[in-house]
Structure 1
């Protein structure tokens, strides 16, 4: 195990950095997607409610690996059929889109639950003061909802971090993919996967502790 660390530590750390980069990018776009569809779901427009519900149910019903294959292989193939022969998606681009779409569906539910946890009287009171629905949501409801959403968002970050390992199937050089490469080069699968597992565990345990600490602070602040 020490020999592997001495020879491949820089590659493993680089792969971990790419894993975290992919996770952060995906979560950023997922929060935007989630906010859009959450607002659709909590609004009074039935058409938007239906669109939001269909997106959440459809994306959560498709395995991430299928979504990754569709975006990385299917979309460029479809673009070529339409005449865009030079259209390409890198593994990072396809992976970010797939994870953002997948995570965005779960984020929509987290944000929706956060918004609905705020007393309905808050919206009614702000509207009675002359604020529009959009301003009431932005200035009154969302700031309160965020307090309850933060622990769930961190938990979703952890789930997304673990889901990046699936994207090794499209060749993205994240930590699991690097583990495959090192195990293949050294023929030391036990030691290699033990190191990879420990690296994942350290990051995930740290994030879990952070989520619990934030949750305790929120509970004390109520």
Structure 2
């Protein structure tokens, strides 16, 4: 009973639980924003990497030069080769300055994490597409579809079913990665725990509460995605 009184003082006194609620809403919001951007960017990068556009094929030595694929490879290598916290700090301190300095932190973070996630999603989608039978594309082209139409109508929908588990893992990682948004002043779940600790001088309980919330969120998300995955398999 005495410890319950301590917990009550930590979280309920002065409405300190609101820090966690607001941090939870912030973390979910930035994760959804970055996930949407990451999916869109990942699909674009994967298609660029797998494209067959050779504008200089008539020039000797450049027959196999594909600028879209090259750009995609460079982007993915740079993003995957640098820490996400560095990318976040660059956007916050070098890009969103001057007239952009009043940009909401949730938007800055969403863009930073989305750009980072897009590189990983691109590789997941590329692997899923390349894992399909090449006859799928040939069949689509034989039906009169263009390359882009075949990708949109035949290849990508099938690839999504195959790569769903990997995408789920990427988005769970994304949710946990957003905990570094405090580096640029964002008050997410982890930052809210630090605020409560600074006011109560109790470091363990706020961190345990935040850890349990992260565990609950990832468990709910995993269960939801598994349900979708079973539905997709049933529809085959």
Equivalences for residues 64-75 of structure 1 within 5 A? 64-75=84-95
Residue 117 of structure 2 is matched in structure 1 by 103
What CA distance in whole angstroms lies between the structure 2 residues aligned with 1:209 and 1:14?
24
**Which residue of structure 2 aligns with residue 80 of structure 1?**
none
2:24 alignment partner, one of 8, 16, 27: 16
Counterpart Cα distance in 2 of 1:159 and 1:29: 15
Give 1:140 deviation, angstroms.
1.1
CA distance in 1, matches of 2:8, 2:198: 17
1:59 to 67, 79, 91: 79
- Are the equivalent residues in 2 in contact too, given 1:155–1:211 (CA < 8 A)? no
Quick check: 1:86 aligned with 2:94? no
- Is the deviation greater in 154-163 or in 87-96? 87-96
Residue equivalent to 1:203: 217
- 1:128-181 alpha-carbon deviations (Å, 9 max, x no partner): 111111111111111211111222222211111000001111111111111111
How many angstroms apart in 2 are the aligned matches of 1:102 and 1:108?
A: 10
Please say if 1:177 is aligned against 2:191.
Answer: yes
Instruction: Classify the secondary structure of the residue corresponding to 1:86.
Output: helix
Determine the C-alpha separation between the residues in 2 that align with 1:5 and 1:155: 31
Separation in structure 2 between the aligned mates of residue 102 and residue 3 of structure 1, nearest angstrom: 40
User: After the TM superposition, which of the residue ranges 43-52 and 33-42 deviates more from structure 2?
Assistant: 43-52
- Flag the 1:125–1:86 CA change in 2: closer, same or farther, 3 A: closer
Aligned residues: 215
Query: Take 1:202 and 1:220, find their aligned partners in 2: how far apart are those partners?
Result: 27
Shift of 1:58: 0.3
Q: Residues 30 and 107 of structure 2 are in contact (CA less than 8 Å); yes or no, is this contact kept in structure 1?
A: no
Shift of 1:221: 5.7
For residue 131 of structure 1, give the secondary structure of its aligned residue in structure 2: coil
Q: Give the Cα separation in 2 of the matches to 1:87 and 1:219.
A: 45
In 2: Cα distance, 1:138 partner to 1:40 partner? 13
- Structure with larger Rg: 2
